[in-house]
Chain A
């Protein structure tokens, strides 16, 4: 699988994502500087996590206007794969590639911990290696991960099975207690209409080796490998 990573000043989990893609796909991703307006020929474009432009103005708002994001839109329109993680998810909502917004966490604090996710729609290139309803561990590390969308939009997401992941307990329970940041319907990751763009707050790239205390994050990358094989 060929992949590329968009690099903005202030992103800081780009190195984590590069390491994960390299270790799992056996091929280092190509690096695309944010000012570039064309992407290399790749199957997958990843916008990694961090604090592009220091989260100034609004998380992801400034990066969403970059030339490289126009190119990402074209890439998505062509039906190719786009993954945005954490700040990448915020950039995707700010650029209109995904609906809704990421607001400040319910408790108004940055939160770094390992939580559980439930794989909801497993019929996508990002999630096909999960069993439907499978519960996996995944770290989160964000200040603005509280997903919000209006009722009409939410209904559209839920009706069309566009929720990829929900926050849950180790037993799969989805409720307020297992919701780390106040996201509506415990939403942790969503898909676009065509199912080729995924945005998610948690960091699967931080849980891919025994050294990380688990390898649940690999499943996402394995899905992608299968999908483009």
Chain B
């Protein structure tokens, strides 16, 4: 079959490329003629939601992205933040939601591969990974299969590549039945004077293709990820890429070796929309044109058309602009690692993006406009309506039973089944493995420095009030970093929402971003990179709004860091940052949802000034060596926080109960900005004095010790039984034979 580049561009063809009629009109105006088929493909790749951020750009601009330590904010492959001593942490989070639903193992694996590549493209060796996963209801027929495939895929790629996965989130909710979320985070370490960027410089320089060969996998993947799912979902399987962590690992080593030779002027990985996006980005950023000769592109399939080559999302590929005099040296590095190395084009001074194939020019487009002139929408949005206040809540629920329920149900149970499938120890620098408030990895070559990582969001809060929910996601991430003793440095966001063409979804999106922006500003926690995933809908039903926040914090001396478990028996338990009744807010709480069976009310408000004060106080206690046992209160409130501290250590606790206050509110309220710390009672006076000076509340609520957890007047709960309940849900669920209905 011969390829025809000059076919008629019909309405159907335009629609198949995900372009709206007015967007096509804009293309005609821009180039003054009908595009060729390859050109249409290029436009669809550059102008889809996934690559152009056309619905979100207006709002993303409002986020704070700068700070004293920020070396590079959004716009590059990953954000770069100074951690002192001439070193920087390079990190980003990105979604692979749509592909993971269609093909869970490969979808998740290539999600991990993509984010790792973003990090080492900048010259950083990846040192930590996390992931935020959201699945449908446990009883949904597809959930088990998706959990098993996604977790195996995340592990399969990360383990083989050799990065420790030190944290993450796994959550179940029926609203993800038709659209799961797979958000992958990676962080790397680089020297501040050896960061590599995608901006090309110099005319007539070789554009070099590196890594794996190009195949037909993933053609149209980014366009697929920019649309809702319907009943034809199984037909989309061919748009999912296939990952090869072995090639990625070689690509990492080869890139770092090559960068050390001084040969690299610019580098860009081929992610979404592959060769198209990477070439255009390098040229446009450097105010240069790019000419590509597709006959030089290493391919692994026969008879590939230029259209397919330009839109392929084959993994583990890079594009670089190299210093010509170093080309031989560069080639030797790649041959050592048995990777493809081909000069596929050159930089030009005419600001055109030209693609040659078999001696003909199949595309000739203005390179700057491809990116800069991409459509941008201020989509209509409905105003936010405050949720109805929480109705009367029963107060006669048993506290002990509720604790059991909350630590042993789908959303509260241990995630050990998941993270034991991830290599969390490789590189020998992991100081805190998953299961605590944050993963901690020491900085190699430095005696005391470590980095902390956490990813957080509470989607049910966002659904009820997107602005407070956005604030809360940031605050919780900041709090988790604080709880291990880290100074939060900066963050990355992965904004997962439904169809932005619906005003109510767009309203949620805008509100959430405003909340995130406000919290990041107040907490000095700038967003340095991120990703937006829209159209997470199936047959018109959208996911819960899920703006996941990934944060990085710096620990100056890891020998003082705090952990989630009680340190020893006989310590005083102090609740920090709480209102006088310790806990009060039951709206949208886990207790209300999982024990009472109601989803209702406003989420707990986030007072950012209070958040900062409480966090700084706790961090000070850790830095001063006053406490080594800290946990924040989040889902399930004070009771679950205490239970988790007991579970992590095997040590029990006896906690008081206030008179004339509902124990349900005290123990299960989800008031924000609270921490539980355990410490030597001899230090209590110091704590009271500091708390008074910093104007943060601190209450001595009980003591550690014994083999059961006693909450006020509730019956004693055996810690061993708690551990058993906490650890068994996940393996039991996954080992269960799927019901006959599900397999039929």
Interface residues of A (CB under 8 A from B): 9-10, 12-13, 15-16, 19-20, 50-51, 53-56, 109-113, 139, 141, 143, 203, 205-206, 208, 211-212
Q: Which of B99-107, B245-253, B257-265 contacts A (4 or more CB under 8 A)?
A: B245-253
- Which one of B160, B253, B337, B426 has the highest number of Cβ atoms from chain A below 10 Å of its Cβ? B426
The residue on B at minimum CB distance from A20 is: B428
In the assembled complex, the CB of B149 is this many whole angstroms from the nearest CB of chain A, namely 12
A163 to B431 Cα, complex, angstroms:
32
Cβ-based interface call for B378 (8 A): no
Note all chain B residues with C-beta closer than 8 A to A12. 160-162, 249, 426
A13 touching B426, Cβ below 8 Å? yes
Cross-chain pairs A/B with CB under 8 angstroms, 27 sampled: A10-B160, A10-B249, A10-B250, A12-B160, A12-B161, A12-B249, A12-B426, A13-B162, A16-B426, A51-B246, A53-B246, A54-B160, A54-B245, A109-B152, A110-B159, A111-B421, A112-B159, A113-B420, A141-B159, A141-B425, A143-B159, A203-B425, A206-B425, A206-B428, A211-B431, A211-B558, A212-B428
A54 touching B428, Cβ below 8 Å? no
In the assembled complex, the CB of A148 is this many whole angstroms from the nearest CB of chain B, namely 22
Note all chain A residues with C-beta closer than 8 A to B159. 51, 110, 112, 141, 143
A86 to B367 Cα, complex, angstroms:
49
Note all chain A residues with C-beta closer than 8 A to B420. 111-113
Known contacts A141-B426, A205-B428; A112 and B421 CB within 8 A of each other: yes
Q: Which 5 A-B pairs have the closest CB atoms?
A: A54-B246, A12-B162, A51-B160, A16-B428, A141-B423
A16 to B428 Cα, complex, angstroms:
6
Note all chain A residues with C-beta closer than 8 A to B401. none
A19 to B338 Cα, complex, angstroms:
26
Cβ-based interface call for B169 (8 A): no
Q: Per-position contact with A for B384-410: 1 when CB-CB < 8 Å, else 0?
A: 000000000000000000000000000
In the assembled complex, the CB of B258 is this many whole angstroms from the nearest CB of chain A, namely 15
Note all chain A residues with C-beta closer than 8 A to B245. 51, 54
Q: Per-position contact with A for B120-156: 1 when CB-CB < 8 Å, else 0?
A: 0000000000000000000000000000000010011
A155 to B267 Cα, complex, angstroms:
57
Note all chain B residues with C-beta closer than 8 A to A211. 429, 431, 442, 558
Note all chain B residues with C-beta closer than 8 A to A55. 160, 246
Known contacts A9-B338, A51-B160; A139 and B442 CB within 8 A of each other: no
- Which one of A10, A20, A53, A212 has the highest number of Cβ atoms from chain B below 10 Å of its Cβ? A10
Known contacts A141-B423, A211-B558; A9 and B250 CB within 8 A of each other: yes
In the assembled complex, the CB of B169 is this many whole angstroms from the nearest CB of chain A, namely 19
Note all chain A residues with C-beta closer than 8 A to B337. 9
Note all chain B residues with C-beta closer than 8 A to A51. 159-160, 245-246, 249
The residue on A at minimum CB distance from B428 is: A16
- Which one of A10, A12, A54 has the highest number of Cβ atoms from chain B below 10 Å of its Cβ? A12
- Which one of B152, B250, B428 has the highest number of Cβ atoms from chain A below 10 Å of its Cβ? B428
Cβ-based interface call for B497 (8 A): no
In the assembled complex, the CB of A13 is this many whole angstroms from the nearest CB of chain B, namely 6
Cβ-based interface call for B427 (8 A): yes
In the assembled complex, the CB of B212 is this many whole angstroms from the nearest CB of chain A, namely 12
In the assembled complex, the CB of A87 is this many whole angstroms from the nearest CB of chain B, namely 10
Note all chain B residues with C-beta closer than 8 A to A50. 160, 162
In the assembled complex, the CB of A107 is this many whole angstroms from the nearest CB of chain B, namely 9
Query: Contact check: which of A9, A16, A111, A112 meets B246 at CB < 8 Å?
Result: A9
Note all chain A residues with C-beta closer than 8 A to B424. 112
In the assembled complex, the CB of A83 is this many whole angstroms from the nearest CB of chain B, namely 17
Note all chain B residues with C-beta closer than 8 A to A141. 159, 423, 425-426
A208 to B429 Cα, complex, angstroms:
11
Q: A12-B160, A51-B246, A211-B431 are in contact. List 17 more A-B contacts (CB 8 A).
A: A9-B249, A9-B338, A12-B161, A16-B426, A51-B159, A54-B244, A56-B246, A109-B421, A112-B421, A112-B422, A112-B423, A112-B425, A143-B159, A203-B425, A206-B425, A206-B426, A206-B428
In the assembled complex, the CB of B297 is this many whole angstroms from the nearest CB of chain A, namely 23
Note all chain A residues with C-beta closer than 8 A to B244. 54
Query: Contact check: which of B156, B249, B425 meets A139 at CB < 8 Å?
Result: B425
B421 touching A110, Cβ below 8 Å? yes
Note all chain A residues with C-beta closer than 8 A to B428. 15-16, 19-20, 205-206, 208, 212
Note all chain B residues with C-beta closer than 8 A to A208. 428
Note all chain B residues with C-beta closer than 8 A to A143. 159
A113 to B244 Cα, complex, angstroms:
25
A111 to B429 Cα, complex, angstroms:
19
8 Å CB interface, B405-421 against A: 419-421
A113 to B419 Cα, complex, angstroms:
9
A9 to B253 Cα, complex, angstroms:
9
In the assembled complex, the CB of B727 is this many whole angstroms from the nearest CB of chain A, namely 13
Note all chain A residues with C-beta closer than 8 A to B558. 211
Note all chain A residues with C-beta closer than 8 A to B442. 211
Note all chain B residues with C-beta closer than 8 A to A10. 160, 246, 249-250
Known contacts A12-B160, A16-B428, A211-B431; A110 and B423 CB within 8 A of each other: yes
8 Å CB interface, B179-207 against A: none
Note all chain A residues with C-beta closer than 8 A to B161. 12
Note all chain A residues with C-beta closer than 8 A to B421. 109-112
The residue on B at minimum CB distance from A53 is: B246
The residue on B at minimum CB distance from A33 is: B336
A54 to B244 Cα, complex, angstroms:
8
Note all chain A residues with C-beta closer than 8 A to B162. 12-13, 50
In the assembled complex, the CB of B293 is this many whole angstroms from the nearest CB of chain A, namely 29
The residue on B at minimum CB distance from A143 is: B159
A16 touching B427, Cβ below 8 Å? yes
A50 to B425 Cα, complex, angstroms:
13
A20 to B426 Cα, complex, angstroms:
13
Note all chain A residues with C-beta closer than 8 A to B253. 9
Note all chain B residues with C-beta closer than 8 A to A19. 428
A212 to B420 Cα, complex, angstroms:
17
In the assembled complex, the CB of B448 is this many whole angstroms from the nearest CB of chain A, namely 11
8 Å CB interface, B155-186 against A: 155-156, 159-162
Note all chain A residues with C-beta closer than 8 A to B152. 109-110
A97 to B423 Cα, complex, angstroms:
28
A15 touching B422, Cβ below 8 Å? no
In the assembled complex, the CB of A229 is this many whole angstroms from the nearest CB of chain B, namely 25
In the assembled complex, the CB of B339 is this many whole angstroms from the nearest CB of chain A, namely 9
The residue on B at minimum CB distance from A55 is: B160
Note all chain A residues with C-beta closer than 8 A to B156. 110
Q: Per-position contact with A for B322-347: 1 when CB-CB < 8 Å, else 0?
A: 00000000000000011000000000
A12 to B252 Cα, complex, angstroms:
11
A203 to B338 Cα, complex, angstroms:
28
In the assembled complex, the CB of B210 is this many whole angstroms from the nearest CB of chain A, namely 15
